[in-house]
Structure 1
Amino acid sequence: MNIFSLTIGIDIDATLTEPYYWLPFTNEHFGLNQKPEDMTCYDLAVNLGISEEEYLAFYLEHGEKIHRHSPIRKEAPSILQDMYPTHQLYYITARHPNMEKVTKDWLNHHDIPQNGLFLLGSHDKVGKAQELRCDLFIEDRYENARAIAESGVDVLLMDCTYNRDQEMLPNMKRIENWYQVQDVISTMEKNRLTLKNL
């Protein structure tokens, strides 16, 4: 039997990591008491009620530490390890390239298998998804997910408080955890289907 192999693009922050892992750091630094349910916008500066300049200064000082200590979604490592022999797994993040070492160390620490890592320093992931010929992309930021879907790539949108109540295109599907990712990919494998045909 032929193996149906997919090329999968995977975001890191809030897709592979727990989505609100930075809240303890920002709450302490800015003297806030925000909770996950308060995060109704992807833009952290807007959520925190601070300027972009204030957030950038905070991130430049603390970003590496925050990424190093970010908790992973607990089911992700074993599921990705199961997928790796069959599928191509590429991690595509908007993180700045100067976070490459801490990101690689974090992936290795959690035994995350990979075919490649790309730190774009930008939210525009369409070009990289096209270059890699991704069949599927897993993402939490709605604007990214929609742009990627509009380019013809199937997208799984990882549910977060800030991406709800959004229009879903036929080749987009909202999922809540990596078990659901596994189920979708298993169905695509068995039936050689795209998302809109599931």
Structure 2
Amino acid sequence: MTVRKQKRFGLDIDGTVTDPATFLPYLNEQFQKTLTLEDITDYDLTKSLGITSEEFWKWMEQHEQTIYKQAKKADGVDQVLEEWKQEHELIYITARASHLEEITKNWFEQQNLPFHHIELVGKHDKIEAIRTHEIDIFFEDKHDNAVAIAETFAIPVILMDTPYNRLPTPANVVRINHWTEAKAWVDEWLKRSGF
């Protein structure tokens, strides 16, 4: 059996690599709201907006390309990923649909963010993609995804803390407030893993 010399880091994009407040200016303008990130206490944005799921997805179809093109990076993410790319594989697994592949890859290139592979699964369930890519650690902002990944694979999942994901988690889901904190935790995990 060959042991890999590098770890495979699986990363969600939206709300993890991008600033979790990315959608708010667009939503506030369209729906005449003044929401801040602290107001978003549920991943389902329709609850904060007071609209139906159909209304939300119709709006999303019209605006998603613009939002994804103009998304801001999460604070500190670029320095951390740049360092990790030297020794580990960075595999992004996102719920974005496949028609957004070019926009997504262009955004990574424009932001100078490293990647080895980007997979757009088109749904929130990332289990099969994580299994296929043999991910060793995952970074996520969606609570139920983090829990499912942690429980299915018994790997560490870094949960980027936001008001919409503050439910209880299993022990191998590690809540982190900033990318520098994520790096510190991962550095310790790598040492414990013999890296």
TM-score, length basis structure 2: 0.93
- Of 160, 163, 169, 2:162 maps to 160
Distance, in Å, in 2 between the alignment partners of 1:188 and 1:159 is 19
Distance, in Å, in 2 between the alignment partners of 1:111 and 1:37 is 29
Pairing of 1:80-95 with structure 2 (within 5 A) = 80-95=81-96
Quote the RMSD (CA, aligned, Å): 1.5
Deviation at 1:4, TM superposition (A): 5.4
Distance, in Å, in 2 between the alignment partners of 1:3 and 1:92 is 20
Q: Which moved more, 1:181-190 or 1:103-112?
A: 181-190
Identity %: 34
Distance 1:178 1:4, change over 3 A: farther
Partner of 2:189: 188
Distance, in Å, in 1 between the alignment partners of 2:110 and 2:117 is 16
Partner of 1:170: 171
Contact 2:9-2:89 at 8 Å conserved across structures: yes
Partner of 2:97: 96
SS at match of 2:73: coil
Q: Which amino acid aligns with 2:21?
A: Y
Partner of 2:21: 20
Distance, in Å, in 2 between the alignment partners of 1:184 and 1:4 is 20
Contact 2:124-2:145 at 8 Å conserved across structures: yes
Partner of 1:196: none
Distance, in Å, in 2 between the alignment partners of 1:49 and 1:70 is 24
TM-score, length basis structure 1: 0.92
Partner of 2:68: 67
SS at match of 1:151: helix
Q: Which amino acid aligns with 2:51?
A: I
Deviation at 1:5, TM superposition (A): 2.1
Deviation at 1:105, TM superposition (A): 0.8
Q: Which amino acid aligns with 2:64?
A: G
Mark the runs of 5 or more structure 2 residues left unpaired by the alignment: none
Contact 1:4-1:192 at 8 Å conserved across structures: no
Deviation at 1:3, TM superposition (A): 9.0
Partner of 2:141: 140
Q: Which amino acid aligns with 2:34?
A: N
Pairing of 1:48-63 with structure 2 (within 5 A) = 48-63=49-64
SS at match of 2:169: coil
- How many residue pairs are counted as aligned between the two chains? 191
Distance, in Å, in 1 between the alignment partners of 2:114 and 2:15 is 18
Q: Which moved more, 1:130-139 or 1:26-35?
A: 26-35
Distance, in Å, in 2 between the alignment partners of 1:3 and 1:128 is 19
Distance 1:46 1:15, change over 3 A: same
Contact 2:75-2:178 at 8 Å conserved across structures: no
Q: 1:51-96: CA deviations, max 9, x gaps?
A: 1111111111111001111110131111111110111110111011
Pairing of 1:110-125 with structure 2 (within 5 A) = 110-125=111-126
SS at match of 1:146: helix
Partner of 2:32: 31
Contact 1:5-1:87 at 8 Å conserved across structures: yes
Q: 1:74-132: CA deviations, max 9, x gaps?
A: 31111111110111110111011111111111111111111100111100011111111
